[in-house]
Structure 1
Amino acid sequence: MSRLPKDPVVTRLPYEPPTIIAHKNGLANKFGGQSARRSLPRIEGVPVAELVERFGSPLFVFSEHTLRRTYREVHRAFSLRYPKVQLAWSYKTNYLDAVCRVFHDEGAWAEVVSEVEYDMARRNGVPGSQILFNGPYKPEPALRVAIEEGAHIHIDHHDELYTVEKIAKELGRKLPVTLRINMDTGIQPRWDRFGFNFDNGEALTAIRRLHTGGHLVLEGLHAHIGTFMLDPQAYARGTAKLAELALAAKRDTGVAVKTIDLGGGLPSRATLHGQYGPGADSKPPVDDYAEAITGALLAAGFPQDELPTLLLESGRALVDEAGFMIASVVANKRLANGTRAVIVDAGVNVLFTSFWYRHDVLPAEDHGGMLEEAVVYGPLCMNIDVVRPSVLLPPLEAGDAVVFRPVGAYNVTQSMQFIRLRPAIVMIGENKQVDLIRRSEHLDDLKGPELLPERLRP
Structure 2
Amino acid sequence: MFLHGTSKINDKGHLEIGGNDVTDLAQKFGTPLYIVDEALVRQRAREYVQAFKASGLNFQVAYASKAFSVMAMCAIAEQEGLSLDVVSDGELYTALQAGFPVERIHFHGNNKTPDEINMALDAGIGCFVVDNFVELQLLNALAGDKGKKVNILLRVTPGVEAHTHDYISTGQQDSKFGFDIGNGAARQAIETAMGLSNLVILGVHSHIGSQIFEVEGFRMAVDKVAAFAVSVRSELGLTFKVINLGGGFGIRYVEGDKPLPIAEYVQAITGAIITNFNAAEYPLPEIWVEPGRSMVGDAGTTLYTIGTSKDIPGVRKYVAVDGGMTDNPRPALYQSKYEAVLANRANEPKEETVSIAGKCCESGDMLIWDLDLPKANSGDLLAVFCTGAYNYAMASNYNRIRRPAVVFVQNGEADLVVNRESLDNIICNDVIPARLSKSGVAK
| Aligned residues of 2:207 and 2:248 also touching (Cα < 8 A) | yes
Q: Which residue of 2 aligns with 1:104?
A: 78
Tell me: CA distance 1:58–1:216, structure 2 relative to 1, closer, same or farther (3 Å): closer
Q: Which residue of 1 aligns with 2:390?
A: 410
User: For 1:416, what is the secondary structure of its paired residue?
Assistant: coil
| Per-residue Cα deviation, 1:147-202 (whole angstroms, up to 9, x for no partner) | 35143011111111112232455456654321100021243653632111011222
CA distance in structure 2 between the aligned counterparts of 1:186 and 1:168, rounded to whole angstroms: 34
Offset of residue 127 of structure 1: 3.0
Tell me the amino acid that sits aligned with residue 403 of structure 1.
A
Offset of residue 135 of structure 1: 0.6
Q: What is the correspondence of 1:344-423 to structure 2 with a 5 Å cutoff?
A: 344-355=321-332, 356-364=335-343, 365-366=345-346, 368=348, 370-419=350-399, 420-423=401-404
Q: Which residue of 2 aligns with 1:157?
A: 132
Tell me the amino acid that sits aligned with residue 320 of structure 2.
I
Q: Which residue of 2 aligns with 1:312?
A: 289
Q: What is the correspondence of 1:22-101 to structure 2 with a 5 Å cutoff?
A: 41-101=15-75
Offset of residue 434 of structure 1: 0.9
After TM superposition, the structure 1 stretch with the greater mean CA deviation from structure 2, 139-148 or 311-320, is: 139-148
Offset of residue 215 of structure 1: 4.6
Tell me the amino acid that sits aligned with residue 362 of structure 2.
M
| Aligned residues of 1:426 and 1:436 also touching (Cα < 8 A) | yes
Offset of residue 368 of structure 1: 3.7
Offset of residue 230 of structure 1: 2.2
| Sequence identity (%) | 27
One of 260, 265, 269 as aligned partner of 1:289: 265
Q: Where do 4+ consecutive residues of structure 1 move more than 6 Å?
A: none
Tell me: CA distance 1:126–1:41, structure 2 relative to 1, closer, same or farther (3 Å): closer
| Per-residue Cα deviation, 1:237-295 (whole angstroms, up to 9, x for no partner) | 11122222222222233332111111111111113xxxxx432xx22222331122111
After TM superposition, the structure 1 stretch with the greater mean CA deviation from structure 2, 186-195 or 328-337, is: 186-195
| Aligned residues of 1:368 and 1:395 also touching (Cα < 8 A) | no
Offset of residue 214 of structure 1: 4.8
CA distance in structure 1 between the aligned counterparts of 2:192 and 2:346, rounded to whole angstroms: 65
| Aligned residues of 1:264 and 1:313 also touching (Cα < 8 A) | yes
After TM superposition, the structure 1 stretch with the greater mean CA deviation from structure 2, 405-414 or 144-153, is: 144-153
1:203 is the counterpart of 2:186: yes
Q: Which residue of 2 aligns with 1:126?
A: 100
Tell me: CA distance 1:58–1:164, structure 2 relative to 1, closer, same or farther (3 Å): closer
Offset of residue 220 of structure 1: 1.6
| Aligned residues of 1:334 and 1:340 also touching (Cα < 8 A) | yes
Q: What is the correspondence of 1:118-267 to structure 2 with a 5 Å cutoff?
A: 118-148=92-122, 149-170=124-145, 174-187=149-162, 189=166, 190=172, 192-267=175-250
Tell me: CA distance 1:176–1:400, structure 2 relative to 1, closer, same or farther (3 Å): closer
| Aligned residues of 2:78 and 2:101 also touching (Cα < 8 A) | no
CA distance in structure 1 between the aligned counterparts of 2:107 and 2:371, rounded to whole angstroms: 41
User: For 1:73, what is the secondary structure of its paired residue?
Assistant: helix
Q: Which residue of 1 aligns with 2:415?
A: 435
Q: Which residue of 2 aligns with 1:454?
A: 434
Q: Which residue of 2 aligns with 1:4?
A: none
Tell me: CA distance 1:370–1:445, structure 2 relative to 1, closer, same or farther (3 Å): closer
| Per-residue Cα deviation, 1:121-147 (whole angstroms, up to 9, x for no partner) | 122212332111111112224323423
CA distance in structure 2 between the aligned counterparts of 1:186 and 1:173, rounded to whole angstroms: 37
Offset of residue 451 of structure 1: 0.9
Tell me the amino acid that sits aligned with residue 64 of structure 1.
E
| Aligned residues of 1:114 and 1:137 also touching (Cα < 8 A) | no
CA distance in structure 1 between the aligned counterparts of 2:20 and 2:125, rounded to whole angstroms: 43
CA distance in structure 2 between the aligned counterparts of 1:362 and 1:453, rounded to whole angstroms: 48
Q: Which residue of 2 aligns with 1:36?
A: none
TM-score relative to the length of structure 1: 0.84
1:321 is the counterpart of 2:298: yes
| Per-residue Cα deviation, 1:313-366 (whole angstroms, up to 9, x for no partner) | 110000011111111111232115342221111211112223332211111114
Question: Gaps (5+ residues) in structure 2?
Answer: 1-12, 167-171, 439-443
User: For 1:300, what is the secondary structure of its paired residue?
Assistant: helix
CA distance in structure 2 between the aligned counterparts of 1:45 and 1:171, rounded to whole angstroms: 51
CA distance in structure 1 between the aligned counterparts of 2:285 and 2:121, rounded to whole angstroms: 22
| Aligned residues of 1:344 and 1:377 also touching (Cα < 8 A) | yes
| Aligned residues of 2:75 and 2:98 also touching (Cα < 8 A) | yes
Offset of residue 45 of structure 1: 2.1
Offset of residue 99 of structure 1: 1.9
CA distance in structure 2 between the aligned counterparts of 1:367 and 1:285, rounded to whole angstroms: 29
TM-score relative to the length of structure 2: 0.87
Tell me the amino acid that sits aligned with residue 271 of structure 2.
G
CA distance in structure 2 between the aligned counterparts of 1:366 and 1:194, rounded to whole angstroms: 44
Tell me: CA distance 1:349–1:170, structure 2 relative to 1, closer, same or farther (3 Å): closer
Question: Gaps (5+ residues) in structure 1?
Answer: 1-38, 272-276
Two-structure CA RMSD over aligned residues (Å): 2.2
Tell me the amino acid that sits aligned with residue 189 of structure 2.
A
| Aligned residues of 1:183 and 1:192 also touching (Cα < 8 A) | no
After TM superposition, the structure 1 stretch with the greater mean CA deviation from structure 2, 300-309 or 159-168, is: 300-309
- Paired residues, number: 412
Q: Which residue of 1 aligns with 2:316?
A: 339
User: For 2:277, what is the secondary structure of its paired residue?
Assistant: coil
Tell me: CA distance 1:370–1:140, structure 2 relative to 1, closer, same or farther (3 Å): closer
| Aligned residues of 1:261 and 1:310 also touching (Cα < 8 A) | yes
CA distance in structure 2 between the aligned counterparts of 1:439 and 1:361, rounded to whole angstroms: 24
Tell me the amino acid that sits aligned with residue 85 of structure 1.
F
| Aligned residues of 1:67 and 1:103 also touching (Cα < 8 A) | no
